[in-house]
Amino acid sequence: MSTSLIKRLKVVLLLPATFLGTEPVIAVLAAYFILLYSLLFSFLSGFDFIFKQTYGLSDGLTGVCFAAIAAGSTAFTLGAPIFYGSARRKTGHVRGSPIKPEYRLWPAIVTAPLLPICLCWLGWTNYPSISIWSGLGACFVFGVVLIAIYVSIYEYIIDSYAEHAAVALASITMARYLVTGGVVMAARPMFEGIGVHWSMTLLACIAAILAPAPLVFWKYGRKLRAKSPYARGDED
């Protein structure tokens, strides 16, 4: 292995950590994703309590309940081309015309308030006397919100950082999985200790605090990008 390759690898491998510590956009979005994925992992860890124990489902049928989240994610994915067609109307449908990165955030802005709603919905309809379809409907909405926020933020980063997007995405991925990986260990004791209703209420309160985050980026994202030597400006 040549010396130049080793030097290049040292630079490339350290770049994600460098971005995380020096890029305002990446630092703020990493914190947002850490909280968001903490919600996700906590929520998924509670499926045994939410569906298996409440409705007496087998392990196999409990696993099938995850399909409701997948269905919601798929629904947004199939509708995304229609949703993002409005972005091109802003540029007169000119192919290759640049779009302000903040415009990519509007699906997250619209759907983020639904996150605390669907978590409360799931938590407080979790009774054997209430149809399981109510909980599955909440999971469907959760899937829509999750993929909408995920896609919006990733597109925002790609548009903001252009050729540096891979490093920016690696920074956020590294941060969120390093921190939220341990959440699974704390989630099950939470459901066992305070039950499904109050566990989901706690998660919903955190989600409510996070709900305005995409809107804040819509308003102040341009200023954060202006402080970065790697992010592109609106004129690029």
147-206 confidence digits (pLDDT tens): 998 888 888 888 888 777 888 888 888 777 777 777 777 788 888 888 888 988 988 898
Is 113 inside a domain boundary?
yes
Of 75-89, 93-107, 132-146, highest mean pLDDT: 132-146
Residue 91, pLDDT > 70, answer no
Task: Report the mean per-residue pLDDT for the chain.
Answer: 81
Is 92 inside a domain boundary?
no
Is 71 inside a domain boundary?
yes
Identity of the residue numbered 168: A
> Residue 16's closest CA among 34, 32, 2, 30?
30
Please state, in angstroms and rounded to a whole number, the distance separating the CA atoms of residues 41 and 190.
Answer: 12
Expressed as residue numbers, the domain containing 67 is 23-86+101-226
> Residue 62's closest CA among 73, 72, 46, 47?
47
Report DSSP letters for 122-186, one per residue.
HHHT-STTS-HHHHHHHHHHHHHHHHHHHHHHHHHHHHHHGGGHHHHHHHHHHHHHHHHTTHHHH
pLDDT tier for residue 30 given thresholds of 50, 70 and 90: confident
Is 95 inside a domain boundary?
no
Residue 9, pLDDT > 70, answer no
Is 215 inside a domain boundary?
yes
Please state, in angstroms and rounded to a whole number, the distance separating the CA atoms of residues 31 and 47.
Answer: 25
Is 39 inside a domain boundary?
yes
pLDDT in tens, 33-47: 887 888 788 877 888
Paired tokens of 59: 């392990």
pLDDT value for 140? 95
> Residue 47's closest CA among 200, 204, 202, 205?
200
pLDDT value for 161? 81
Paired tokens of 221: 């994202």
As a three-state string, the secondary structure of 176-228 is HHHHHCCHHHHHHHHHHHHHHHHHHHHHHHHHHHHCCHHHHHHHHHHHHHHCC
pLDDT value for 63? 86
Is 16 inside a domain boundary?
no
Is 157 inside a domain boundary?
yes
Rounded average pLDDT over 11-24: 70
Higher pLDDT, 232 or 72: 72
pLDDT in tens, 131-141: 999 999 999 99
| CATH code of residue 73 | 1.20.1250.20
pLDDT value for 141? 94
pLDDT value for 86? 65
pLDDT value for 121? 93
Please state, in angstroms and rounded to a whole number, the distance separating the CA atoms of residues 47 and 45.
Answer: 6
pLDDT in tens, 45-64: 888 888 888 898 888 888 88
- With tokens 């947002």, the residue in question is 32
Provide the domain count of the chain: 1
